[in-house]
């Protein structure tokens, strides 16, 4: 497989969290990740139990305090289901069928619903993709920002209200004393997105999950919002999971990257390493599909075919039917996750030393 050089990585490199409260960065000092997913699987099961959709399948990932993990993949790859699994807010048809979610030394899979309610919104929070769907049109933005504060910290309404105003100011909304009494429909799209960010930050979580938070924003507002998230991350030392289709955003925002396909993480590791030396053909195809300034190519390189039906996955590697480098073993046996060093892993037979000479197509080895 070729190791094309992709110059998307942010020239600033990994971002420090200088200025953050040192006590909130204790997890970064220890060797233990803030969140560690171990062989996590979440399946959707039909009412008759005959149809199983492996939305999240054997996922192993870790994120440290103060770090940003990007999760990318085509629609239907399992990114949003993974986020909902971490928060334990899955729909009735979905269930965690295996694995662990170790957060600050505790397995979230084993927690009761009541225990998870004390985690959700306080220690782990989420920014949803569509603010108009997540904000209640009947309540003021102040009430909606103050709600998680009152639920988790049992403070008077006046105290929560003052903190709501401070949060609006923190997310760069002008005239917060006036805006706090307004309703979502009185705000612009960019302001609504900042408000859901303020709700997510209300209780100063250790981990913030952002699911496609810039999809509905124009490029100028998008850049402002991304810069705001980075500032908040530095100030509070929180870990950030950023779910997106946009690899340019990953280059700007993220330290680590996980590439998902058909419910599995097919490649993970430091952003700069993956962008410059992708080990999985799917990762390389995603990078090659990005338009580049100054490129002489007349057409973008599309990935041939369609993602598989998660209810009837093909045998072997799920990407094999679309992969130009697939050989016989790829079609009959799923590859294991291979440690490539420097924190990079990939699920591809081309990365397994034992596969060399075992039916590989000419020119691959």
* Structural domains in the chain plus CATH codes: 1-123+254-360 (3.40.50.300)
pLDDT at residue 13 is higher than 50: no
Return the pLDDT at 128.
Answer: 81
In percent, the amount of the chain with pLDDT more than 90 equals 61
Query: Average of pLDDT values for 69-77?
Result: 93
Return the pLDDT at 5.
Answer: 31
CA 37 to mean position of chain CA atoms: 13
Q: Take residue 365 and report the two structure tokens written for it.
A: 């080895």
Return the pLDDT at 26.
Answer: 43
Q: What are the pLDDT digits (tens) for 136-148?
A: 999 999 999 999 9
Check residues 312 and 17 and name the one with the higher pLDDT.
312
Comparing 8-17, 69-78, 120-129, 173-182, the range with the smallest average pLDDT is 8-17
Comparing 12-26, 78-92, 199-213, 243-257, the range with the smallest average pLDDT is 12-26
Return the pLDDT at 213.
Answer: 82
Q: What are the pLDDT digits (tens) for 36-52?
A: 999 999 999 876 667 78
pLDDT at residue 237 is higher than 90: no
Q: Over the chain, what is the mean pLDDT?
A: 85
Q: What are the pLDDT digits (tens) for 157-181?
A: 999 999 999 999 988 899 999 999 9
Q: What is the pTM of this model?
A: 0.85
Signed CA dihedral, 150, 35, 206, 132: sign only: negative
């Amino acid at each position: 497989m070729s190791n094309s050089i992709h110059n998307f990585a942010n020239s600033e490199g990994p971002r420090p969290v200088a200025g953050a409260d040192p006590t909130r960065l204790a997890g970064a000092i220890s060797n233990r990740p803030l969140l560690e997913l171990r062989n996590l699987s979440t399946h959707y099961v039909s009412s008759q139990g005959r149809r199983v959709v492996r939305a999240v399948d054997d996922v192993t990932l870790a994120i440290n305090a103060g770090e940003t993990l990007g999760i990318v993949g085509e629609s239907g790859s399992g990114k949003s289901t993974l986020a909902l699994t971490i928060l334990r807010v899955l729909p009735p048809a979905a269930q965690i069928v295996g694995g662990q979610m170790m957060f600050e030394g505790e397995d979230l899979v084993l927690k009761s619903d009541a225990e998870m309610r004390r985690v959700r919104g306080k220690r782990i929070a989420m920014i949803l993709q569509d603010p108009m769907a997540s904000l209640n049109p009947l309540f003021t933005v102040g009430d909606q920002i103050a709600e998680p504060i009152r639920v988790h910290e049992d403070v008077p309404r006046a105290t929560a209200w003052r903190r709501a105003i401070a949060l609006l100011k923190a997310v760069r909304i002008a005239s917060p004393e006036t805006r706090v009494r307004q309703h979502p429909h009185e705000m612009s799209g960019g302001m609504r997105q900042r408000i859901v960010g303020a709700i997510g930050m209300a209780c100063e979580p250790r981990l913030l999950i952002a699911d496609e938070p810039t999809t509905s924003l124009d490029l100028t507002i998008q850049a402002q919002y991304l810069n705001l998230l980075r500032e908040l991350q530095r100030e509070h030392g929180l870990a950030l999971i950023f779910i997106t289709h946009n690899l340019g955003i990953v280059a700007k925002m993220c330290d680590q990257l996980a590439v998902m396909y058909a419910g599995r993480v097919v490649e993970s590791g430091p952003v700069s390493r993956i962008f410059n030396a992708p080990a999985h053909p799917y990762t390389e195809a995603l990078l090659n599909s990005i338009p580049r300034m100054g490129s002489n190519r007349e057409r973008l390189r599309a990935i041939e075919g369609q993602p598989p039906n998660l209810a009837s996955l093909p045998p072997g590697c799920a990407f094999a039917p679309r992969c130009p480098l697939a050989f016989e073993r790829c079609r009959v046996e799923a590859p294991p996750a291979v440690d490539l060093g420097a924190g990079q892993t990939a699920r591809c037979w081309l990365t397994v030393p034992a596969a060399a000479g075992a039916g590989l197509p000419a020119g691959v080895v």
